[in-house]
Structures are given as structure tokens and as C-alpha cells.
Structure 1
Amino acid sequence: MESRPLSHRDSSVFETTMHRSRLSGTCKRLLLDVPSAFRGRRNLAALALEQPGFDGTSAEEFLEGRFLSLLRGCSRPCDLNRGRQVHAQVVVNGIGDLGPLETRVLGMYVLCGSFTDAKDVFFRVDKRVSLPWNWMIRCFAMIGWFESALLLYLKMFFCDVVPDKYTFPYVIKACCGLRALELGSLFHGTISSMGLEADPFVGSSLIKMYTENNLIDHARRVFDRVPEKDCVLWNVMIDGYAQNGDLREVLVLFNSMRSSEVRPNFVSFACVLSICALEAQVRCGAQFHGLTVRYGLDFESSVANTLLAMYSKCRCWSDMTKLFHMMPRADLIAWNVMISGYVQNGFGKEAVNSLYKMQLAGVRPDSVTLASILPSISDSAGLKQGKEIHAYIVRNDVNLDAFLKSALIDMYFKCRNVELAYKIFDGTGTMDVVICSAMISGYVLHGMSGDALNIFRQLINAQMKPNAITLASILPACSSLVALRLGKELHCYALKNRFEGRCYVGSSLTDMYAKCGRLDHAHYMFENMPEKDAVAWNSMIASFTQNGQPEEAVNLFRQMGVEGVNYDCVTVSSTLSACANLPAIHHGREIHGFMMKGALRSDMVAESALIDMYAKCGNLVVARCVFDTMEVKNEVSWNSIIAAYGSHGHLKEAMGLFQEMMVSGFQPDHITFLTMISSCGHAGEVEQGFQYFHRMRDEFGIKARMEHYACMVD
């Protein structure tokens, strides 16, 4: 490092820095006199002899100790300039060749994040010991240059330098970063042969490597071999079980930790509470909440935010709100948890109100906040609000990361504005798997399967690897286009990458095979799924219904209840469609009775399916009664009742309902017009059908689809 004489400005900055630091009085006096010594051209060693703390050792050793103390205080990026000043004084006074001091300078640059300075110092230090190598391996691992970290470790071997317990944690971290489990296991063998496996620092890194690769048994063996476990080691092991969703082992291990001499800290509680939130174990979570109060950690930021997430996940709104208001000062993460919780549970209005309150409290929304609230806007009525949020993002220069872009794209698609969604995608500049998945999903939602496949091809051509969500998004496009061959290729890709075990991928594959006419393959996929959630059951029930096997759909509905899987509105609507196709009004009435007893009595999707079922079973009066008693109606409800009257030949009533729908503020969609054109066909009113066809294109700007043309021809 090139040195220069200190100016008056340097002197004042240096003095200010010293006064703000927490150094000992002797060190401050010594270093505060450095600038004046240089101005008077005095020797720093001579100045050391005048210090009250001088004990007769050499002036060089005395200064080395003082500089070491100063360098240890420089451990953050904001300390870099101060560290450089200290390094300059070390060089100018000719004491930079001392081993501990020059290695400490190297460590200071690594901790302050200055790779260039660290590299320059590393080339000049004595490399016959492991410490300089350890610092540089750590530096490479910190900046994500994992291959360089491993190469430096190998070079360390070639230089006959023996690694120690401080070398391996960052070597293992590099293996994790490269997902090189086999190489990490090889290093584990080296660690065992050197007798370092029992070290808590090394053990923690090995446990983390194994848990990240779902080898929890290997991690537990390492954990059990460490005789003296510190808090970090316990936390890493608890977190490993939490990531694997093993609540029982998390609780057992946490209790063992409490029984030991190690006191749980805020990280311990955050790990345990996160698994309680994931498993929706509110009773268990509430008990841990009591423990956090006992340990005085309940308002520690990470603990309080995890508690908020747990209560939100378990739908304990009063507890969540009470805790939030009790927090001394809600930080950005706390607000994000509140907003995300409201959105995920369907409380869009409360989420928007929280956004306004957040800004009034002086907390500025970030990309996570806005990406969390955008999913609450899910129809054309919310388009204006969605544009306002988009304008806020642009005006306040919010970081437009991949997740926020995909949330904006998803919002515009749901609000039926395909053009704006594509503009955001086109303005991205670089290809990203998350953004492409959002575009694919949006195009599929709008029936634009060809465009979805084009985006998928762009993703492949950019040599990017589709993830499980991308796969689940593109498979419905194969279903729509009856592209069985492509669907099979994607199935092979899922098998190769071990995606088929995920519920949403399995459900998409089941649906694809069923819609491509291979119900046997669909049923085989369903039966061999390791875990079946409500979506998987719904997909199979709908497949049986759509492929002319309504009896199997009803049987599967009963089996779903026997296995303890909760019905939702999609389950009920698919089974009601099966009852309509049988027709079996007695089964439909049983389901109607079940709906009236539970939470689905006022669900719009289920009630719309009821209207369709009663109409197809010939009971138009009850269908109208269900429609009239609906508390809230949407486009689907109106389409169902219009179709009911149209299919029974009551064109006049269907036309009247069409007008009522528009007066009520609902815009007709392509299904509404298909229903009206079909109703005109049933009534023999061909001219009236032509009028609706032209109105659809000219007045409402809805592009005619194949089914519209087929209906016109018919």
C-alpha cells in the first residue's frame, strides 16, 4: 500500500474516528498523537516510550499490540477507511513485516469486504502457516467464488501447509455453494482423519451441508460425535430438522438443549417457531411464545416476526394483531409478515389498509411488501389499484427484482390486461426462470397456450433450467393443445430432476394425461403419488368427470372424505358437475346439504356449480332460488344462471339476465357470449346469435375463439 504524509484534513478525520471508537485510553492517546508526530517529523517509536502504559518492552512490540487492537475493531465494510489508515501507519513505521500484525491486516480487509486489498496483502505475507490461507479461503467463500476457494485449499496442500479447524468450515461452505456433496463427504473423511470432527465450528458446517442435502441422519451422527456442544451447534441441528419438517425431532432436540448447560437464544426460538408455523401447530407455538417471554426474547426482532408468521399461518388474527401492537416498534419485516398474512388468507382490504398504516408509521415499503400485496388484486375491478402500486414502484425507485416483476405480471394477467403484462416482461432485458414462469402461467390462464409454449422455448434457448413451478405452469398448455408427446417429454424431465414427487407437479401431470385422452396414465400417476393434497384429489375427480366417468368421480369424492382430506370449493364443484352428468340429483342434494352445514354455504364457486347441477338435472326453479339467495355474485355465477335458462330454451329470460349482469357492473366474458350464442341456437334465433357474436368482437373487444365459431356453424 502506498503511503503519503497526513494532511490537516486527514488529521481531523482520524481524531474524530478515534474519539468515537471504543478503544482503551492508552491506545487513543497513542494514535491521536500519530498525526502530530508526523507533522513534527517525530518517530512513532519514540512517542511510544512516552506513554504511561509502556512496561519496558520494545517500542516495536508495544506498537504492534496497539495496532492489533485497532485492527480487531475494524470488522465491517463501514470500517474499511479506518482500517486502511491503520495499515498505512503500520507500513510507514516499518513494523508491517511482523507475522501476527500483517495477517491481522489481511483479516481486516477480508471482514471489511475489500477483496483487492486482501489479495495484495496475501501475496506479501508469510504463507508457511495456515492463517493467511484460511483468511483468503474465507474471502472467496464470502464473495461466492466457491471454485476459487477450493482451488486455494488444494494449493495450500501443495505448499505443504497443514489445514486446521479454521480452514474446513469455509471449504465445506464452498462445497455447499457448488452443491458438491460428494466432494464435501471427501473433505469430511479428511476432517475425521485429522481428529477435527469433534470441533463445534467444524461440526456445524458439516451438519449444515448434510441438512441442506436432506441427509438428516448423516447430520445427526456428526452432531452426536461433538462432545461439547455450543449454542450454534444446537441451533444448526434444530434448524436442519425444521427444514425437513420433522416437528417431533425439533421438540425433542430443543428440550435436550434446555436440559443441557446451553441456554437457548433468539435463533433457537426462531427455528422452533418456524416449524410450528409451517405445521400450523398453534397450541405448541403458543407454549413456545410463553417460553420466549420467560427468557426475555419475545420482542427480539426475529422471534417476534416468526411469532407473527405463526399466528398468521394458524389464522389466529386476534393474537397476531395483539402481538403486533405490543411490539415496541414494528420494523419492515413485521409489516411484511402482517400484509402477507392478510393476503394469503383472503383479507385484501385489511392488507391494503396495513400498507397505508405502514407508510404513516414512517416505514417505507420495499419490493417484498409490494410483491406480497399485489396478489390481493385478482380481477379487473382492481386494475386501477394495481396501476397505482406500479406507479409507486416507478416513482420511488423500488428495486424491481424478479419476484416483484413476476407479481406485477401475474396481477396484470388476472386483471385481463395481457398487453401490460407483456410490456413488463419485454422490459426485463434478461431471461429469468421466475418471470418466465409467471408469463407462462398468465398465458395459460387466458387460453393462449401457443404463446405460453413460445415463452418456454425462449427459456430453453437461453440455456436456463426450468424449475418445478415452470413445469407445473407449462403442462396445462400441453393439455389445452392436446400435445401428448411434449407432455411426455416434460414428464421425463420431471423424473430426471426428481420433480414428480411434488404434489403440484404430480397434479399437473395427472391433468395433462387426462385431457390428452390417457385417463389410464392419469390414474396411475395419481395412485403412485407419495403425498396427495386437495389439489391432486380435485384434479383426478375433475378428470373422471370430464372424461365421461362421473360414477368414478363420485366414488373418489367419498374416498377423499374417508382419508381425511378436507373438501374445498373446487372439490365440491367438480363432484357437482359429475352429479349433473349422471344425472343424479340425489347425490347433488346430499352435497348441497353438506355445503349448508359448513363454510362452503356462501362460496361463489360451489354455489355456481349448484346452479349448473340443478339446471342439468331439470330443476330450474331450485337453480334460480340458489342464484337469488347468493350473498355475493361474480361473472361465473351470472354465466351459470344464463346458461341454465338458455339450455332450457328460455331465451327471453337469458337475455334479461344478460342485461341485468351488465347493469350490476359485471362485464360479460367469452363464456358469457358463448352461452348467449348457444341459447340463441337452441331457440332457433340465428339473427340474434349473429348480433351477440358481432357485439362480442366490436363492442367488448373479445377475440372469437374456436368454440364460438363452432357454435355459430352449429
Structure 2
Amino acid sequence: MNDEPIERKELYNLFLLRHLKKYGLGSFAMRSHLSPSFPRITSTISRFKELSCNGSWHEVLVHFNEAKRAGVEITEPSVINSVVKASSKLSNEQHGKPIHAWLLKQGLDAFSSVSNSIMDSYMKCRDSESALGVFRSMESRDSVSWNVLIHGFLHRGDLGRGLSWFQRARVDGFEPSVSTLVLAIQGCRSIWLLNELFELHGYMIKIGFWGSVSVQNSLLGAYADIDMERAEDMFDEMLERDVISWSVMIAGYLHNEEADLGLRMFVKMVSEAKIDPDEVTLVSVLKACANIQSLIVGKMAHAFVLGKGLDADSFIENSLIDVYCKCRDVDSAVSVFRDMTGRNLVSWNSIVSGYVLNEKYLEALSMFRSMGKEGIEADEVTLVNVLQTCKHYVDLSWCKSVHCLALRKGYESNDFLYNSLTDAYIKCGRIEIAWDLFNGMEEKDTVSWSTMISGLTYNGEPDEAIVAFNKMIHAQGRPNAITIINLLEACSVSAELKRSKSAHGIAIRTCLATEVAVGTAIVDMYSKCGAIESSRKVFDQMSGKNVLSWSAMVAGYGMNGLAHEALTMLAEMKLHNIKPNEVTALSVLSACSHGGLVEEGISFFQSMVDEYDLHRGLEHYSCVVDMLSRAGKFDKAIDLMREMPEGLEAKASAWGALLSASKSFGNKDMGKDVVPRILELEPSNSANYMLASSMYAAGGLWSDAARMRRLAKERGISMVAGYSAVNVNDRSCRFIAGDESHPQGREIQSTVKQLHRCMRIGRSGDLMVEC
């Protein structure tokens, strides 16, 4: 052919090119003559098609590089797109930029489809600036170009830029894809842009996308997150509702803490609309059952799941465990767990968490050990649950074990776990380790500071807690409600009225005093400072009161010796249609006990079940035992302890009340019987040894008194002396038994002796005019 005239050679090449185009191979050429390369070209393009169809993207790039080294020029847009797509699928910027440079050199970026593929590749490699550079350099942009750019920003979570480019595209008149519209809706939903949602709603109707159920459901979900009333209106206007539409509404009610409405929607979906729920729907329904803590409704939902044959779904099974645990039916939760065919980590965490929630800490530890035997590795959630048992049993060794496990697994950056670990060390009395953990945190959030403030208060260091609060304000700025409540608790422990008033002022300035929980804490704080008038004033000014607020006021009157006023508060609750709970009942019984209102206390205790439909727990029985013991009615107290319902057994608090009363009334025989029981129940409580020693000493049994102190010393129990606190000029003054270091010590002792003499005269029935 080299000897043929030039015109004939060109005609041959033209014929060959036309032949290649006929079979889709016209995009391949050789830098030299084409005819000898025909078999290699056909092999190359076939290989590209095969690799692309199989999703072998790495091999596509390898084959592309081999073709280039062999001298094959690839100019067919469809093949180029497969090469660029391979780069984007692998999110490999190392390949993407060289391919882009090669395309620019070949002049192939003029094809819109090629530029769109390059842009998409950059977006998936999270190189938005390079993608924007390609977009801006495009001579002709189509709807795909806009969709790729907007979809890329929104998909990677850059919502502000994504929505901004979406607005520009609308001005340019592009046609969005369904996926881009859905992402735009999700973007508005994530950053709560209600007005933008309204605009999108109108825009979708205008461009004819309103008929798409997927778009409608996406918009419905956004409304349900931001404005439930708008979601209800839209749902009523929808001509076509599928299972997703109903599921979105049920989840929306659940999100807005209206679980009962979500359950009603589910009933309507099944009974009226005749739509079968799917797994997602039933998970939301079960969450609603857990939220309202209705065991009956939960069992009905379980029966529905069984009837539909969906009980094998792991999400549903885990939700059932959660329902039963929150409804206090742990046995049913365990039954679901044991019947599961495929337990995952969530299943194990759910049952461990359920045991902890129901205060079955030994069972929680046993299940944690079973996890290890089954080869299931614990995660952060598991360890947080185990730490709850460490706090309950005040078990430092377990706490350290969890700490070591967290370090081995590299969970140091998990703030939730380390806050729980800090709290566990605090509850175990190791405040210095808690400080080390706290100081080692790179970023301390509000929860971290609140944990330390609360922990210092718990360990009897309210002054340090207040200092920590001031440091937090300097470092973090505005506190939240939890932090303020912890500050108020610290002030209540310090019992200094001046500090308490300052804390009240901080709550007002931060606009948190109006919250019910904060207001209730303020009421409790003033009560513990002895300022019951301030406590009542704050209570009366609260715009919203719940049963805890009323209970705090009842308890405040009780701890300040105003038992009759506490009972009056109970009557006021009835007038305001506020039903007392078990905490209220305990406050009433405590007030009657300390106020000497035995008959009133017994009457209320008997009416708890019949009139108020309240469960009488161990704390209530212990309080009544204390009440009877203080009144010297030991026989009735012991009879009550014997009559406790099955499952309740008198604990140290009840026996401690008997021991204290035995000392007060000089009943040595009763005390001797009680001491062994209380030391068996609480062998590590120093107060029990001191009380027993004091009782023996008061009866002249000095050898027994010394034996108690010696026993405490042998067991390594430090004896902590009790103290009294008196407010003088808004300051709390503490007086420890036997301590004469106070500058006014002698004067105070003289006053106390005079008061004691007055009390003895009053007990004998004489008038106390001289006092």
C-alpha cells in the first residue's frame, strides 16, 4: 500500500473509518496507519464493555492505561464516560486528575456528557472546587450538569451551597431530577428552612412533579419534622397515599412526642385505609408503645407482628425488647431475646440496657459476660450500661476494668462513654481519678462540666462544685438547664442562702428559671436552706407546675418541721386535680414522721392504695417504721416490718430507724437485737457503727461501745462525725459534735444545753414559758 498513490491511500483510510463507525468503533484511531490495528481495537472496546457491565472499575482503569501505552487514542464519549465513572466509583483522585488532564489535552471536554462525568467524579472524591471549575468552564450545560453539581453538594452534606446552587439553577430554567428534588427537600428539612419548603412545594406543583409519590412523601417527612400541622394538612390533601406516607405520619407524631396520636394513625391505616404496614411502620409503632409505657398496647402490637409474620425481622425484635423493658416486663423481653434467630450487637445492648433500666444489675452483668462467651464484642453503648452497674454497686474494680477495655478499643474520643466513666468514678468515691479524666478531655462539652459539678456536690464538695461552675461559664459561655440544676443542688448542699440567691439570679438571667425542672430545683434549694417562705414564693410564681413541683413543696414543708402545712399542700393538689405519685407520698410520710403526726401518717399510708391508687414500696414502709419508732411504738413498727408484702424485705433504713429510736428511748434490749441485723445489711456504713456505739454508751455499756468502734476500725471503715448547720446572716455555719474550734463555741454550747433542757421540760408536759 505504501507504493500506491496518496489519493488512493486516503480513500482507503476514509473507507476504513466509515466501516469502523458502522460497528461503533470509529472512536479508536492509531497514531500510525489504522488497518494493522483493527483486531486490537475491537478487542479493546469489547474488553471495556465487559469490565463496565461487571462493575470491575479497577480493571477498567488498568485497561485504559494499557490502551494508552499501546498507542490507542480513545475518543468515544461512552468509553471515556466509563473510564471517568471508574475513577469516581473508586473515589480515587490520584486517577481522576490525570484522566481529566488527558481529556483536556485530547480536546474531549467539549462533550457535555464527558464534562458531566468528570464533575461527578470530582464530587464523589469530595473535591468540590475542581468540580466547580469544570462546571464553570463548560460551554454548554444541560440539566444533567446542574443535577450533578447540586446533587453532589447536597449528598455530601454541604446543604448551604447545595441549596444556593439549586436556587441559581431554577433561575437558569433547568429541569431537576427526582433525586435532586428529594435531596433539596432533605436539605431544607435538616436545617429547618420552613419558608424554603413552602417555595419548593409550590415549585414542584408548577413544574409538574407533584404527581411523584416519592417527592410527596419526602416533602411530607420534612413537614412532619418542622411543622406537624402542615404535615397533617398535606396528608389530608394527598390523593394517593402508600405505606410510606402513613409511616411518615406515624413517625412524625412520635418525633413530636405525640405517641398516642401515632398509634391512632396506625389503627386508622390498618382498619380504614386497609394498607398493610411494613417493617419500618411497625418499628415506629413499637417505639410509640415504649414511649407511652403501655404493656397492654405493647402486647397487642406484638400479637399484630406475629400475625403478619414479621417477627423474624431483627429491627422489630430489638424494638420488642425495648418495649417490654420500658414497660417493666423484663421476662417477656428475655423471652423475645432468647427466641431470636439472629442476635446482633443491638439485641445484646437492648437486653443489657433493659436489665439496667429495671434495676436488675446482677442480671445485666451476667448478660454482659454471656456476650463475651458468644463472641460478641462490646461497644460504647455496652460499656455505658456496665458502668451503671458499677455505680450501683460502687464497684471500683469493675469501673477500672471498663476503663481499660475502653482504652484497648480506642474509645478515648467518645465523649458519652468518658462522661459516664467520669460519673462512675465519682460514684465510687474516686473524685481525683474523675478529675484526671475530665482534665484529659480535649474538648469539654456541657455534659462533661455538668458531670463534674454534680459529682463534686455528690462527694460533699459543694464549694468546689460552684468554683467548677464559674470556670465552665468562663470557658463555655451560657449554661443549659441541667447545669443550672446541678448548680442549684450544690447551693442546697452548702445551705448558704446568699449563694442560693445568686444561683437563683443566674437562672433568671439565663432565662431558664421559667422551666419547670429548674423552678422545682429552686423550690427545693430554698427549702434546704431553711428559707421556706422564699420556696413558697417561687412555687406560687411558677407558671407551669407538675407533680414533682408539688412534691418538692410538700417535702420542703416537711424538712422544715411544718408537717401540717405539708398535709395542706396535699389537699391543694386535689383541688388542682394533680394526682400525687409515689414521691409525693414519701414526702408526706416523711413530714408526718418528723412532725410527730403518727395518726395522720398511718391514715395516709392506708389510703395510698385505695384512694390514690399508689404502689407502696420499700421506702414507704421504711418511712412508716421510722414514724412509729420515733413515737416509741416499737411493737407496731416490728409488726409492720413482718407484714411487708412478698418481694419486699426490710432493709437497713428500717432497722436503722429502730436502732435510732432504741437509743432515744433507752431501749437497750431492742437495740441489742437490731445491731446484728443492721451490720449484716450494711457492713460498710460508718453511721451504723457510730449509732450502735452511741446507743451502748448511753446505756452505760462501755465495753460494747468500744467493741463497735474497734470493729469499725478492723474493717477499715472511717468514722465520719455528724454535723449540724445553722444559717447566720445568710451564711451556713457547721457544728461538728465535740468540736470547740468555733469562736462562739462556748456560747453556742450553752444555748444548746438550754434548748435541750427546755425540750426535756416540754416532753414531761410542763409549760416552756421560761424558754
- The answer to whether 1:641 aligns with 2:658 is yes
Q: List alignment gaps of at least 5 residues for structure 1.
A: 1-16, 46-59
Rounded Cα–Cα distance in structure 2 between residues aligned with 1:233 and 1:91? 47
Contact 1:247 1:276 in 2 (8 A): yes
Rounded Cα–Cα distance in structure 1 between residues aligned with 2:323 and 2:235? 28
1:219 partner amino acid: A
Rounded Cα–Cα distance in structure 2 between residues aligned with 1:155 and 1:561? 62
Rounded Cα–Cα distance in structure 2 between residues aligned with 1:383 and 1:328? 36
1:430 partner amino acid: E
Deviation at 1:435, TM superposition (A): 1.9
Q: Which shows bigger deviation, 390-399 or 92-101?
A: 92-101
Match among 522, 525, 545 for residue 558 of structure 2: 545
Q: Which shows bigger deviation, 367-376 or 651-660?
A: 651-660
Q: Which shows bigger deviation, 430-439 or 417-426?
A: 417-426
Contact 1:277 1:313 in 2 (8 A): yes
Counterpart of 1:609?
623
Once the two structures are superposed, what CA deviation does each residue of 1:458-505 show, in whole Å capped at 9, x if it has no partner?
A: 2211224433332333222232333332332244256x36x8455x43
Go from structure 1 to structure 2 and tell me whether the alpha carbon gap of 1:149 and 1:511 turns closer, same or farther (over 3 Å shift): farther
1:589 partner amino acid: I
Counterpart of 1:4?
none
- The answer to whether 1:470 aligns with 2:487 is no
Counterpart of 1:574?
587
1:486-505 counterparts in 2 under 5 A?
486-492=502-508, 496=511, 500-502=514-516, 504-505=517-518
Contact 1:200 1:226 in 2 (8 A): no
Rounded Cα–Cα distance in structure 2 between residues aligned with 1:415 and 1:408? 11
Match among 206, 209, 229 for residue 217 of structure 1: 229
Counterpart of 2:445?
432
1:63 partner amino acid: V
2:199 partner amino acid: G
Go from structure 1 to structure 2 and tell me whether the alpha carbon gap of 1:417 and 1:272 turns closer, same or farther (over 3 Å shift): same
CA radius of gyration, larger in:
2
Match among 350, 359, 368 for residue 337 of structure 1: 350
Go from structure 1 to structure 2 and tell me whether the alpha carbon gap of 1:238 and 1:544 turns closer, same or farther (over 3 Å shift): same
Rounded Cα–Cα distance in structure 2 between residues aligned with 1:225 and 1:375? 49
Counterpart of 2:292?
279
Once the two structures are superposed, what CA deviation does each residue of 1:297-332 show, in whole Å capped at 9, x if it has no partner?
A: 333232221122112212233332222222221111
Go from structure 1 to structure 2 and tell me whether the alpha carbon gap of 1:584 and 1:616 turns closer, same or farther (over 3 Å shift): same
User: What is the percent sequence identity of the aligned residues?
Assistant: 23
Contact 1:661 1:667 in 2 (8 A): no
Go from structure 1 to structure 2 and tell me whether the alpha carbon gap of 1:591 and 1:149 turns closer, same or farther (over 3 Å shift): same
Go from structure 1 to structure 2 and tell me whether the alpha carbon gap of 1:387 and 1:544 turns closer, same or farther (over 3 Å shift): same
Rounded Cα–Cα distance in structure 2 between residues aligned with 1:343 and 1:88? 57
Once the two structures are superposed, what CA deviation does each residue of 1:161-219 show, in whole Å capped at 9, x if it has no partner?
A: 787866565555555555xx5x5325523642563694655555554454444x31123
Go from structure 1 to structure 2 and tell me whether the alpha carbon gap of 1:489 and 1:145 turns closer, same or farther (over 3 Å shift): farther
Deviation at 1:601, TM superposition (A): 6.0
Match among 240, 261, 276 for residue 249 of structure 1: 261
Counterpart of 2:134?
124
Match among 394, 401, 407 for residue 414 of structure 2: 401
CA RMSD of aligned residues (A): 4.6
2:333 partner amino acid: M
1:115 partner amino acid: R
Go from structure 1 to structure 2 and tell me whether the alpha carbon gap of 1:665 and 1:410 turns closer, same or farther (over 3 Å shift): same
Rounded Cα–Cα distance in structure 2 between residues aligned with 1:122 and 1:591? 75
Match among 400, 403, 412 for residue 387 of structure 1: 400
Go from structure 1 to structure 2 and tell me whether the alpha carbon gap of 1:364 and 1:474 turns closer, same or farther (over 3 Å shift): same
Counterpart of 1:485?
501
Go from structure 1 to structure 2 and tell me whether the alpha carbon gap of 1:86 and 1:416 turns closer, same or farther (over 3 Å shift): closer
- The answer to whether 1:42 aligns with 2:50 is no
Deviation at 1:32, TM superposition (A): 8.1
2:735 partner amino acid: Y
Contact 1:188 1:206 in 2 (8 A): no
1:34-113 counterparts in 2 under 5 A?
34=64, 36-44=66-74, 60-63=76-79, 66=82, 74=89, 79-81=90-92, 92=102, 95-107=108-120, 110=123, 112=124
Once the two structures are superposed, what CA deviation does each residue of 1:388-420 show, in whole Å capped at 9, x if it has no partner?
A: 222322333345522212222222233333233
Rounded Cα–Cα distance in structure 2 between residues aligned with 1:463 and 1:381? 31
Aligned partner of residue 337 in structure 1, secondary structure: helix
Q: Which shows bigger deviation, 230-239 or 191-200?
A: 191-200
Rounded Cα–Cα distance in structure 2 between residues aligned with 1:153 and 1:185? 15
Go from structure 1 to structure 2 and tell me whether the alpha carbon gap of 1:308 and 1:167 turns closer, same or farther (over 3 Å shift): same
Rounded Cα–Cα distance in structure 1 between residues aligned with 2:57 and 2:156? 33
1:407-426 counterparts in 2 under 5 A?
407-426=420-439
1:488-637 counterparts in 2 under 5 A?
488-492=504-508, 496=511, 500-502=514-516, 504-516=517-529, 517-519=531-533, 521-522=535-536, 525=539, 528=542, 530=544, 532-533=546-547, 535-557=548-570, 565=579, 567-568=581-582, 570-593=583-606, 603=618, 605-623=619-637, 632=649, 636-637=653-654
Contact 1:491 1:509 in 2 (8 A): no
Go from structure 1 to structure 2 and tell me whether the alpha carbon gap of 1:542 and 1:135 turns closer, same or farther (over 3 Å shift): farther
Deviation at 1:123, TM superposition (A): 1.6
Deviation at 1:433, TM superposition (A): 1.3
Once the two structures are superposed, what CA deviation does each residue of 1:564-589 show, in whole Å capped at 9, x if it has no partner?
A: 84743x44432222222342222333
Go from structure 1 to structure 2 and tell me whether the alpha carbon gap of 1:138 and 1:256 turns closer, same or farther (over 3 Å shift): farther
Once the two structures are superposed, what CA deviation does each residue of 1:408-442 show, in whole Å capped at 9, x if it has no partner?
A: 22222333332333232222232111222222222
Rounded Cα–Cα distance in structure 1 between residues aligned with 2:281 and 2:87? 32
Go from structure 1 to structure 2 and tell me whether the alpha carbon gap of 1:308 and 1:591 turns closer, same or farther (over 3 Å shift): same
Aligned partner of residue 125 in structure 1, secondary structure: helix
Q: Which shows bigger deviation, 329-338 or 297-306?
A: 297-306
Deviation at 1:284, TM superposition (A): 3.0
Aligned partner of residue 271 in structure 1, secondary structure: helix
Counterpart of 1:315?
328
Aligned partner of residue 709 in structure 1, secondary structure: strand
Contact 2:58 2:86 in 1 (8 A): no
Once the two structures are superposed, what CA deviation does each residue of 1:245-283 show, in whole Å capped at 9, x if it has no partner?
A: 323432343355556597533222211211111112333
Contact 2:322 2:354 in 1 (8 A): yes
Contact 2:532 2:556 in 1 (8 A): no
Contact 1:645 1:654 in 2 (8 A): yes
Rounded Cα–Cα distance in structure 2 between residues aligned with 1:691 and 1:291? 65
Go from structure 1 to structure 2 and tell me whether the alpha carbon gap of 1:392 and 1:634 turns closer, same or farther (over 3 Å shift): farther
Go from structure 1 to structure 2 and tell me whether the alpha carbon gap of 1:274 and 1:101 turns closer, same or farther (over 3 Å shift): farther
Contact 2:81 2:117 in 1 (8 A): no
1:642 partner amino acid: L
Aligned partner of residue 539 in structure 1, secondary structure: helix
- The answer to whether 1:666 aligns with 2:670 is no
Rounded Cα–Cα distance in structure 1 between residues aligned with 2:383 and 2:284? 26
- The answer to whether 1:115 aligns with 2:126 is yes
Counterpart of 1:14?
none
1:143-162 counterparts in 2 under 5 A?
144-149=157-162, 152=165
Rounded Cα–Cα distance in structure 2 between residues aligned with 1:690 and 1:132? 90
Rounded Cα–Cα distance in structure 2 between residues aligned with 1:542 and 1:536? 10
Contact 1:511 1:522 in 2 (8 A): no
Rounded Cα–Cα distance in structure 2 between residues aligned with 1:193 and 1:34? 43
Deviation at 1:364, TM superposition (A): 0.7
- Structure-1-length-normalised TM-score: 0.78
Rounded Cα–Cα distance in structure 2 between residues aligned with 1:519 and 1:200? 61
Aligned partner of residue 363 in structure 1, secondary structure: coil
